[in-house]
Copies of this chain bind each other. A is one copy, B any other.
Amino acid sequence: MTALQMACGSCAMHRLCHPLTGAEGWLDAVQARRRLERGQKLFRAGAPQAAIFAVRAGTLKVSAPDGAGGHFIVRFLLPGDAAGLDGLAGGVHPTEAVALEDCQVCEIPRVRAEILAEGIPTVGAVLRSLIASQLAGSQVHSALLARHAAGERVARFLLDLSRRWDERGYSAASFRLPMLRSEIGEHLGLTMESVSRVLSDFQSRGWIRLTRGAIALLDLDQLRACAAIPLR
């Protein structure tokens, strides 16, 4: 499995890792690069937050255990995404991150991030902006869960992945789906069966083509129309 690898320049953490363009004299933000095998956890829910992370290669799921064996999947991480920021409130990770495939991750110790934030104003601003951006995203996702039907949830999920791959310079029309149907369901508040039925329906309409572990979006306009329908 050869996972895609991001250039640092298009990473969400770039301006945090390299705050002084061309300059030096500061300690590196990134302490270490870690490799994760499929299924391995980057950090655990309830564990003290020691670092924040940037995904360099591979994909992960960020999930919140519900105390009864179940999980809600908060978001999926693609190369260039930041992770672990929600622990900056209490110093404890409320969520956990699990590799969906073999991954490579940059680790920025919490203390080091704080030193940089104190010493370089732009770093503090970048950090705030990253967290606020995830906050806005989470609010949008809540709205999706609260007000939209199954088909619209799946359509938006696919379009969101499409946009994010596009932003990274990869195909917006064809990409892998490394997560299980059940994991898509845990992200969208649906069952595995409902996700499967909606995807089958989209395929029968000719809007997508499903292949093992991947998907092709054939009719973005139809998907967008489907995603734009507000419920009620």
Q: Is the CB of B68 within 8 A of A146?
A: no
Q: Which residue on B lies nearest to A73, using beta carbons?
A: B146
Q: Is the CB of B66 within 8 A of A132?
A: no
Interface string of A82-105 (1 = CB under 8 A from B): 000111111000110000000000
- Of the candidates B72, B129, B135, B186, the one whose C-beta lies within 8 Å of that of A135 is B135
Q: Is the CB of B86 within 8 A of A230?
A: no
Q: Provided the pairs A118-B121, A146-B145, A189-B147 are in contact, do residues A135 and B89 lie with their beta carbons within 8 angstroms? A: yes
Whether a CB of chain B sits under 8 angstroms from the CB of A200 is no
Measured between beta carbons, the chain B residues less than 8 angstroms from A86 are: 132, 135-136, 139
Measured between beta carbons, the chain B residues less than 8 angstroms from A188 are: 146
- Of the candidates B64, B89, B117, the one whose C-beta lies within 8 Å of that of A132 is B89
In the docked arrangement, what's the CA distance between A77 and B228, Å?
Answer: 29
In the docked arrangement, what's the CA distance between A130 and B89, Å?
Answer: 7
Q: Is the CB of A87 within 8 A of B189?
A: no
Could you say how many copies of this chain the assembly holds? Answer: 2
**Given A67-B228, A68-B228, A90-B136: 18 more A-B contacts, CB < 8 Å:** A64-B139, A70-B147, A89-B130, A89-B135, A90-B133, A94-B140, A95-B139, A114-B125, A117-B128, A118-B124, A128-B128, A135-B135, A138-B139, A142-B145, A145-B146, A146-B187, A146-B188, A146-B189
* Secondary structure call for the A interface: helix
Q: Which residue on B lies nearest to A145, using beta carbons?
A: B145
Measured between beta carbons, the chain B residues less than 8 angstroms from A128 are: 88, 117, 124, 127-128, 131
Q: Which residue on B lies nearest to A148, using beta carbons?
A: B66
In the docked arrangement, what's the CA distance between A189 and B189, Å?
Answer: 12
Measured between beta carbons, the chain B residues less than 8 angstroms from A168 are: none
Q: Provided the pairs A66-B147, A114-B125, A124-B118 are in contact, do residues A74 and B131 lie with their beta carbons within 8 angstroms? A: no
Q: Which of A118, A134, A138 has the most chain B CB atoms closer than 10 A to its own CB?
A: A138
Whether a CB of chain B sits under 8 angstroms from the CB of A212 is no
Whether a CB of chain B sits under 8 angstroms from the CB of A35 is no
Measured between beta carbons, the chain B residues less than 8 angstroms from A85 are: 132, 135
